[in-house]
Homo-oligomer: A and B are copies of this chain.
Amino acid sequence: MTLTETEAPRPLGRPRDPRLDEAITTATLELLAEGGYGALTIEAVATRAGVGKATLYRRWTGKEQLVVDAVRTLSEPPEPGRQADVRDEIVGLLEALRRKSTSSLAGRIFPRLIGEGADNPELMRRYREQVLEPRRDRFRATLRRGIDQGLIRPDADLDHVMDLLVGPMAYRTLIRTDPPPGPDLAARIVDDVLVALAPRPETAPRPAPQEDA
């Protein structure tokens, strides 16, 4: 049974040189590191990569797409190491986010993507799928272990939980950047939020607002 399946139709002509992808991506990241987004021009990337501009436009439609791809290769391993203690693992994930955002190149590029994304839904979609979602999957698995261990209510909406945990950290690294968030922030966020998420059947989740009316 020789199922031919889809079988890539093998395009005609000279195939694209796969090494150029890397040369271009590297040049992109170098330029970003050296001069920020403002110094990232297509012409500079092409020159630094030793590549014609046409080669660049053949593979990416513009600067933003190029940056997304470059950043993706940069941010592959979101693995903070598996911890025995789920709470510590969550802290580790948040702390990894802080370190990445405050120190590295990614910390300069990420806000740009947010900015571009506001007028460019396609860019945002690609970023979400290729960068954000893989990380969220990783995070979600950890939270599931938290449920198994009785740390988190079994009926909790894990997406919402992630919003509560990641949101404050993102806010402090992107928007309220001054004073810069310290290394204890992750633990503070986790401890505060986990209180609310703890399985506590005997406590009313909402402390009677009518006392104020």
A: residues with CB less than 8 A from B are 36-38, 84-88, 107-119, 124-125, 128, 132, 149-151, 160, 163-164, 166-172, 174-178, 188-189, 191-198, 205-207, 209, 211-213
Q: Give the distance in Å from the alpha carbon of A192 to the alpha carbon of B194 in the complex.
A: 10
Given A84-B212, A212-B86, do A166 and B171 touch, yes or no (CB 8 Å)?
A: yes
Given contacts A36-B119, A194-B206, A195-B196, 17 further A-B contacts (CB under 8 A): A37-B115, A84-B212, A84-B213, A88-B212, A111-B114, A111-B115, A114-B114, A151-B207, A160-B188, A160-B192, A163-B176, A164-B189, A167-B169, A171-B171, A174-B174, A192-B193, A198-B207
Chain B residues with CB under 8 Å of A115's CB are 37, 111-116
Given A193-B193, A205-B195, do A212 and B149 touch, yes or no (CB 8 Å)?
A: yes
Q: Give the distance in Å from the alpha carbon of A128 to the alpha carbon of B178 in the complex.
A: 9
Given A170-B170, A196-B196, do A37 and B118 touch, yes or no (CB 8 Å)?
A: yes
Nearest CB of chain B from residue A13's CB, rounded to whole Å: 9
Nearest CB of chain B from residue A172's CB, rounded to whole Å: 6
Q: Give the distance in Å from the alpha carbon of A195 to the alpha carbon of B166 in the complex.
A: 18
User: Which residue of B is nearest A37, CB measured?
Assistant: B119
Contact (Cβ within 8 A) A151 B212:
yes
Q: Give the distance in Å from the alpha carbon of A132 to the alpha carbon of B175 in the complex.
A: 9
Q: Give the distance in Å from the alpha carbon of A147 to the alpha carbon of B178 in the complex.
A: 25
Q: Give the distance in Å from the alpha carbon of A198 to the alpha carbon of B166 in the complex.
A: 21
Q: Give the distance in Å from the alpha carbon of A151 to the alpha carbon of B213 in the complex.
A: 12
A-B contact pairs, 18 of them (CB 8 A): A37-B118, A84-B213, A85-B209, A86-B212, A114-B174, A124-B178, A151-B209, A163-B172, A163-B189, A164-B189, A164-B193, A170-B171, A170-B174, A170-B175, A191-B206, A194-B207, A195-B196, A198-B207
